[in-house]
Each structure stands twice: as C-alpha cells, then as structure tokens.
C-alpha cells in the first residue's frame, strides 16, 4: 500500500474513532497519521512522500497568503475613492515544462484576486497574465517566477 493511501486510511480511522466525519477531524487525523508515518519511515525505505507532502503544504500556505493579501488589496482599491490599479497584460517566461505544472500554475494565478491567466503560448514557454496591479511588469514577472512557479515546480517535480 502506498504511503498516501495509508495516510488517508489512518485519517479516516481517526474520524471513525471519534464518530465525527468533518473536515477538521479529517485534517487533524491526516496530520497525526503523517507524523506517525514519518516516525516509522525507516520501515518503508527510501521514499519522497514526506518531502512532497511538506512541499505541497508550503505551496498551499503560500497560496493562502497571496489570496489574503490580494483580496485585501483589491477590496481596498474598490472601497476607497482613489484607485491604485494599473492593469496590464504581462508575458511571463516559464521554466516549468510539464503541462500539468503549467495548468496548476495558471489556475493558482487565476484564483488569486486581481490576476488572471489568459493564455499559454503554443510552445508552452510563456504564460500571459492580466494583472490588476502591474505598475512594474518586471516585478510582476519576478514575483510569479520566485513565488508560484518555483513552489509549483518544487511540489510537483
């Protein structure tokens, strides 16, 4: 049995133990099972599961941070009389090449308020992004490449 499946099974068992099947209990069971499995990792040999889960959690935490900051920025721009938005379409050269990684990156950008992935070039080397606050296109490119793109690549390599 793969470690991820075992982790899910143990998390489900944690919910069954308490008789409460909700997201909070499942997440706490998943974390507890992850800790138990990582302590017993020498039994499983060499595996990248634990590193991948932590990298995926780091990507999720970064997304939640960006979601919060951009939501506040967009809300502030909407409710104040002066508008600070400087919309622009920015071409972001991509280092990632896998279609699934590009799809995840584009979706994370689109889910962040104030930005929208428009298209990927036919050769898959450039992502076109509409940014609501793109005063400096180079800074927008740098932020996407060092943030979302790097974390997507690390989590999905």
Q: What is the pLDDT along the chain (157 residues), one digit of tens a residue?
A: 588 899 999 999 999 999 999 999 999 999 999 999 988 888 877 788 888 999 999 999 999 999 999 999 999 999 999 888 899 999 999 999 999 999 999 999 999 999 999 999 999 999 999 999 988 999 999 999 999 999 999 999 8
**Is residue 74 within 8 Å of residue 132, measured between CB atoms?**
yes
Name the token pair of 144: 């996407």
Domain ranges of the chain: 3-44, 58-156
pLDDT for res 128: 97
Q: Taking Cα atoms as reference points, which of 107, 137, 108, 102 lies closest to residue 120?
A: 102
Give the domain 58-156 fold.
Alpha-Beta Plaits (3.30.70)
Beta strand 126-131 pairing with 115-120: antiparallel
pLDDT for res 42: 80
Q: State the pTM of this model.
A: 0.83
pLDDT for res 1: 57
pLDDT for res 157: 85
| CA angle, residues 123, 128, 149, in degrees to nearest 5 | 85
pLDDT for res 127: 96
């Amino acid at each position: 049995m793969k470690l991820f499946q075992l982790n899910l099974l143990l998390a489900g068992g944690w919910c069954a133990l308490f008789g409460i099947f909700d997201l909070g209990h499942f997440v706490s069971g998943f974390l507890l099972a992850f800790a138990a499995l990582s302590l017993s990792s020498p039994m499983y040999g060499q595996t990248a599961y634990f590193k991948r889960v932590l990298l995926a959690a780091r990507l999720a935490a970064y997304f939640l941070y960006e979601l919060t900051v951009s939501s506040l920025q967009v809300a502030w721009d909407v409710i104040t009389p002066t508008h600070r938005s400087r919309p622009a379409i920015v071409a972001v050269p991509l280092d990632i090449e896998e279609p699934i990684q590009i799809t995840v990156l584009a979706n994370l950008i689109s889910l962040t308020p104030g930005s929208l992935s428009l298209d990927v070039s036919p050769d898959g080397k450039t992502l076109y992004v509409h940014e609501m606050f793109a005063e400096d296109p180079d800074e927008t490119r740098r932020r996407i490449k060092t943030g979302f793109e790097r974390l997507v690549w690390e989590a999905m390599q």
